Amino acid sequence: MSRKYKFYNKEGLYFVSFATVCWIDVFVREEYFNCIIKSLDYCRREKNMEIYSYCLMPSHVHLIFRAKDANPYLKRSLIF
């Protein structure tokens, strides 16, 4: 993993943007769009990610988020 992709400030609010290869329009079908939304929801529920804003474009995604409780490695335990 490249050094520039690591999160050094555990309390930080991060802006992340990523694009598809060659900027190909991928997120144009509803099922592909829903796949990204479900993935973000999973990260929010299971990985304690606080999502402040996101923008899904046909070929790229913008995301503003932070780790809940300033701990990006904390996983919620399952309660039965």
Amino acid 73: pLDDT: 57
List the strands of the sheet with 14-19, edge to edge.
14-19, 60-67, 49-56
Number of domains in the chain: 1
The span from the CA of 18 to the CA of 60, in Å, is: 6
Q: Which two tokens stand for residue 73?
A: 């490695």
Asked if residue 10 is part of any domain, the answer here is no
What pLDDT, in 10s, does the model give residues 23-67?
Answer: 999 888 999 989 999 999 999 999 889 999 999 999 999 999 998
**Mean local confidence (pLDDT), 13-22:** 91
Asked if residue 61 is part of any domain, the answer here is yes
Asked if residue 54 is part of any domain, the answer here is yes
Asked if residue 11 is part of any domain, the answer here is no
Amino acid 61: pLDDT: 94
Considering the entire predicted model, what is its pTM? 0.72
Residue 15's pLDDT band (cuts 50, 70, 90)? very high
Residue 58 structural domain: 25-71
Asked if residue 41 is part of any domain, the answer here is yes
Asked if residue 42 is part of any domain, the answer here is yes
The span from the CA of 46 to the CA of 76, in Å, is: 6
